[in-house]
Amino acid sequence: MNALALAQALVRFPSVTPADHGAMDYVQGLLAGAGFACQRLRFGGIENLYARWGGDGPCLAFAGHTDVVPPGEGWTHDPFGGVIADGRLWGRGAADMKGGVAASLAAALRFAKGGKGAVAFLLTGDEEGPAVDGTVRLVEWARAKGERIDHCVLGEPTSVTRLGDTIKNGRRGSLTGRLRLIGKQGHVAYPHLADNPARALPRALDALTAPLDEGTPDFQPTNLEITTVDVGNKASNVIPGEIGAVFNIRFNDLWTPDTLQAEIRRRLDATGARYELTFDPCNAVAFLTARGAFTDLVADAVEEVTGRRPELSTGGGTSDARFIKDICPVVELGLLSGDMHGVDEYADVADLEALSQIYERVLTRYFAG
């Protein structure tokens, strides 16, 4: 089967996290039928799959997810119909990332017919949800079992304007903080008997949003955004006793979660405000797959198929690559965004097959030695 047929079949499974509805069974059947040794792993009710083919030498893995976000309303075509029209495959997950999974499957199935090497798949049904019982658990399992994985390609949609124009060779970290500015509630007519935390708010926000760094050759500057400020005061004649704020920091590899938290506390201390500060657990730390032989190999494969040399980027949000990097170097290469997570998500038919050809050339080049 070609990448389009595989993607169409996958889109027709309404696998909204944490439901699977047979998507992983379908993938397992394809891989098992081609001689892959498959291990179905269920963590916390989530379906995961580890599959491996080939010998004991260097192993290249493909990773991805078969779960999708809810479709929403207002689609032109059935979001789970797998409709092909106007040169596009329409449906939830066509771009993010059932199309990428299909392209890697088609490439690996072709390669397994005559190639030599070792190919693995790390597939999960928990990327769009909490991401606690998916790839992170697969990686832990593979490490405990001593499974050899030397490099990995994750098929998230990374292309910006044309297929293959961008490869992600790293990702920024993500850290969420929750701030509570403390005052003393009182009557607005007697401010001397109260302490309005709103007076400290501008100083605190200025301290938080001041530049953290100037970036690096591989990463853009660390950025902090205030996502909400809440007083919760329903009375116009009451000075509030506290103000809450939430912020998120996308940080580069100049920082760790610990050093970043320390810097935020230092800045708030300098304002003189009374505050309480907590941070959500951080499972997204900045990482970089250094430019070198592996990134060049993937870029060469892209250029061979498309005629264009891709750029390396660490921008955007987080992905499951943040877990995979704990066991091997990983890059991300996939389709255009195709209105991912939006209404009328799609993947270009021509891009699906071209991406599959790129993946197959990655395999051929990887095992050429």
Answer whether residue 369 shows pLDDT above 90: no
Which region, left, alpha or beta, applies to residue 364 given φ > 0 means left and ψ of -120 to 50 means alpha? Answer: alpha
Q: Active site residue: 47, 96, 126, 127, which one? A: 127
Closest CA to 285 of 242, 326, 345, 328: 326
CA atoms lying within 13 Å on the CB side of residue 346: 16
Provide the pLDDT confidence category of residue 16 given band limits of 50, 70 and 90: very high
What CA–CA distance (Å, rounded) separates 221 from 219? Answer: 7
Q: How confident is the model at residue 338 (pLDDT cuts 50, 70, 90)?
A: confident
pLDDT digit string, tens, across residues 318-328? 999 999 999 99
From 20, 67, 156, 332, the catalytic residue: 67
Which CATH number describes the domain made up of 173-279?
Answer: 3.30.70.360
Tens of pLDDT, residues 94-144? 999 999 999 999 999 999 999 899 999 999 999 999 999 999 999 999 999
Write out the H or E segment, with its range, that includes residue 162: none
230 is catalytic: no
What are the beta bridge partners of residue 54?
118
How do beta strands 275-279 and 238-239 pair? Answer: unpaired
**67 flagged as catalytic:** yes
Nearest to 212 by CA among 224, 204, 201, 226: 224
**Architecture of 3-171+286-366 per CATH?**
3-Layer(aba) Sandwich (3.40)
Q: Is the pTM of this model over 0.85?
A: yes
Domain ranges in the chain are 3-171+286-366, 173-279
